[in-house]
Amino acid sequence: MYQAPRGTQDILPADRPYWRYVTEAMHQVAGLFGFQQIDTPIFEETGLYVRGVGEGTDIVDKEMYSFQDKGGAEVTLRPEWTAGVMRAYIEHGMHVWPQPVKLYSMGPIFRYERPQAGRFRQHHQFNVEVLGEMDPAVDLEVMSVAWTLLTRLGYRGLHLQLNSTGCPVCRPAYRQALVAYFAQYEDRLNDVDRRRLTINPLRLLDSKEEAAQPLLDAAPHSADYLCEECATHLATLRTYLDAAGMQHSINFRLVRGLDYYTKTVFEVWAEGIGAQAAVCGGGRYDRLIEELGGPPTPGIGFGMGIERVIASLRQQGVQPPPLPAPRVQVSPLGEPARVAAITLVRDLRAAGIGALYGFGGRSLKSQLKGADKAGVAYTVILGDQELADNVVIVREMATGEQARLGLPDVAPWLRTRLG
RNA sequence: GUGGCCAUAGCUCAAUAGGCAGAGCAUCUGGUUGUGGCCCAGAAGGCUGUGGGUUCAAGCCCCACUGGCCACCCCA
Q: Which nucleotide is nearest to A118 (CA to C1')?
A: B76
Q: Which amino acid is at A74?
A: E
H or E element in which residue A326 lies: none
Residue A47 CA distance to nucleotide B10 C1' (Å): 45
Residues in a beta bridge with A283 = A265, A301
pLDDT for position A117 = 87
The pairs formed by A187-194 with CB atoms below 8 angstroms and a separation of 24 or more are A188/A212, A188/A215, A189/A215
Residue A140 CA distance to nucleotide B50 C1' (Å): 53
* Full 3-state SS string of A23-53: HHHHHHHHHHCCCEECCCCCEEEHHHHHHHH
Q: Is the distance between the Cβ of A331 and the closest atom of strand B smaller than 7 Å?
A: no
Q: Is the distance between the Cβ of A117 and the closest atom of strand B smaller than 7 Å?
A: yes
Q: Which residue is nearest to nucleotide B28 (CA to C1')?
A: A366
H or E element in which residue A375 lies: none
Residue A81 CA distance to nucleotide B31 C1' (Å): 60
User: Which residues in 16-35 of chain A line strand B, with CB less than 7 A from it?
Assistant: none
Q: Which nucleotide is nearest to A123 (CA to C1')?
A: B76
Q: Is the distance between the Cβ of A384 and the closest atom of strand B smaller than 7 Å?
A: yes
Cis amide bond preceding A100, omega within 30: yes
Residue A112 CA distance to nucleotide B4 C1' (Å): 22
Residues in a beta bridge with A74 = A68
Which residues, 6 or more positions from A223, have their beta carbon under 8 angstroms from its beta carbon? A163, A164, A231, A234, A250, A252
pLDDT digits (tens), chain A, 419 positions = 778 899 999 999 989 999 999 999 999 999 999 999 999 999 999 999 999 998 888 899 889 999 999 999 999 999 999 999 999 999 999 999 999 999 999 999 999 999 998 899 999 999 999 999 999 999 999 999 999 999 999 988 788 999 998 998 888 889 889 888 988 888 888 877 888 887 778 888 888 777 777 888 888 988 889 999 999 999 999 999 999 999 999 998 888 767 788 999 999 998 766 776 789 999 999 999 999 999 999 999 999 999 999 999 988 889 999 999 999 999 999 999 999 999 999 999 999 999 999 998 899 999 999 999 999 999 999 999 999 999 999 999 999 999 999 999 999 999 999 97
Alpha helices (runs of H) in A316-375, residue ranges in sequence order: 335-350, 364-374
CB atoms within 10 A of CB A145: 25
ipTM: 0.88
Q: Is the distance between the Cβ of A366 and the closest atom of strand B smaller than 7 Å?
A: yes
pLDDT for position A257 = 67
Q: Are strands A378-383 and A36-37 parallel, antiparallel or unpaired?
A: unpaired
Q: Is the distance between the Cβ of A118 and the closest atom of strand B smaller than 7 Å?
A: yes
Residue A323 CA distance to nucleotide B43 C1' (Å): 34
Q: Which nucleotide is nearest to A256 (CA to C1')?
A: B75
Q: What order do you get walking across the sheet with A43-45 strand by strand?
A: A43-45, A74-77, A66-68
Residue A312 CA distance to nucleotide B71 C1' (Å): 19
Residue A211 CA distance to nucleotide B1 C1' (Å): 22
User: Which residues in 232-291 of chain A line strand B, with CB less than 7 A from it?
Assistant: 256-258, 267, 274-281
Q: Which nucleotide is nearest to A392 (CA to C1')?
A: B34
Q: Is the distance between the Cβ of A113 and the closest atom of strand B smaller than 7 Å?
A: yes
Residue A117 CA distance to nucleotide B67 C1' (Å): 15
Q: Which residue is nearest to nucleotide B69 (CA to C1')?
A: A116
Instruction: Tell me which nucleotides of strand B come within 7 A of a protein CB.
Output: 1-3, 27-31, 34-37, 49, 66-76
